[in-house]
Amino acid sequence: MNNVVELLPITSVYSLEAFENTPSNILSIGTQEKWKRGFYGKNVVIAVLDTGCETSHPDLKERIIDGYNFTEEHNGDISVYEDLNGHGTHVSGIMAGSINETGIVGVAPKADLLILKVLNKRGTGSSESLIEGINYAINWRGIKGEKVRVISLSLGLKSPNPKLHDAVKRAIENDICVVAASGNDGDGNMATNEYRYPGAYPEVISVGALKEENQLADFSNTHDLVDLYAPGVGIYSTSIKSGHTLLSGTSMAAPHIAGSIALLIEEYTYLFNIRPTEEEIYKFLMGHTSEIQFEDGNRIKMIDLTESVNIRKRNSLLSASKNKDMLLKCFCEARRTQAFFTKCLDENSSEEEREFILELIQNSASTSEKIKEFCQNG
């Protein structure tokens, strides 16, 4: 049983005839603030490891860049990664439903989705397939050299798996953000801990679920390694047979964060003109949160992409970026000065001259170390 990967239990399923193009849960996290500034997750590839995806769905067909089937379904044809369950299609819509004047819009409506089918129509699969899927995402390259920047995992194992943990760490080392649902085994009490893996690994961005009015969803797993929370109750998104439905679970919360990261990667790249590391994106993400304090005194962080929350953080990051070249020049100059003073030491120097030069060497060395420390801490 320990090697069985499974979908996190869905707490409720509904059907609706019609719905607004942009569901309230998508708007509630501040996505429109990013959209207004032109950030839609364009050219950011998210690997969705789930039950597959309905590739012909009107809201998703333009978002799917590639895929692979790791299950025995579709006669084991690796090129057929259609969804026979609906779960993978639902989370994909939350992440990246297209802006097409119909259906729904996702958090990052111009992101690209790499669909990796690791679970079957019953919502189960092997840990080996999950590990293979993560490694595939790490090594995947698009026809234009695209690389995966985010891995989304709305699934979980009941027990830790060292090989799965190693695969997650390899993804992080390759500057891929790994986002996972925390699990739906909660009891509504934040004092008790419930774990699902990989969501409980420290390297993973673990996501819990909120219900209406930013209250903790009773089913959401809670523990110290849950990084932040997002909407996870009554989430309206894409479904199979070109449909739409409402589902609840931390499975629905996690893609809100995966999509948000796609927006932030595009924004970070635009602001700083560099390819951000996983660590930089995580810091940027956590700068886009607000705090919720409950009546019992417990506090959690929820995703909040609004302008007002992040303007100070963003300005600080931008200022640091502009000063980076100057600080580097100062560091190099201090090092060169240190080397020059060292060369000035001479066997023929008097004791007084040697003491004076040694003091200069120590001062320049101290200056360069302070610059280095400042840059590392920043």
Where does the pLDDT of residue 375 fall: very low under 50, low under 70, confident under 90, or very high at 90 and above? low
Q: Is the pLDDT of residue 27 over 70?
A: yes
Higher pLDDT, residue 322 or 3: 3
Q: Which of 57, 87, 223, 256 is catalytic?
A: 87
For 306-320, how does the pLDDT look when each residue is reduced to its tens digit (9 = 90+)?
Answer: 854 444 555 555 555
Please name every residue paired with 226 in a beta bridge, in sequence order, or none if there are none: 206
Q: Which of 50, 59, 66, 227 is catalytic?
A: 50
DSSP output for 226-258: EEEEEE-SSEEEEETTTEEEEE-SHHHHHHHHH
Read off the pLDDT of each residue in 42-56 and give the average, rounded to a whole number: 98
Q: Is 66 a catalytic residue?
A: no
Where does the pLDDT of residue 9 fall: very low under 50, low under 70, confident under 90, or very high at 90 and above? low
Higher pLDDT, residue 113 or 15: 113
Read off the pLDDT of each residue in 246-252 and give the average, rounded to a whole number: 97
Q: Is 251 a catalytic residue?
A: yes
* Contact predicate 82/55, CB 8 Å: yes
Nearest to 7 by CA among 195, 140, 158, 149: 158
Q: Is the pLDDT of residue 291 over 50?
A: yes
Read off the pLDDT of each residue in 369-377 and give the average, rounded to a whole number: 63
Where does the pLDDT of residue 149 fall: very low under 50, low under 70, confident under 90, or very high at 90 and above? very high
Indicate the DSSP class of residue 10. Answer: P
For 175-219, how does the pLDDT look when each residue is reduced to its tens digit (9 = 90+)?
Answer: 999 999 999 999 988 889 999 999 999 999 999 999 988 999 999
Q: Is 50 a catalytic residue?
A: yes
Q: Which pLDDT does position 15 carry in this prediction?
A: 40
Among 100-114, 128-142, 291-305, 323-337, which is the least confidently predicted range? 323-337
For 252-262, how does the pLDDT look when each residue is reduced to its tens digit (9 = 90+)?
Answer: 999 999 999 99
Q: Which of 251, 260, 364, 368 is catalytic?
A: 251
Q: Which pLDDT does position 362 carry in this prediction?
A: 77
Amino acid at 211: K
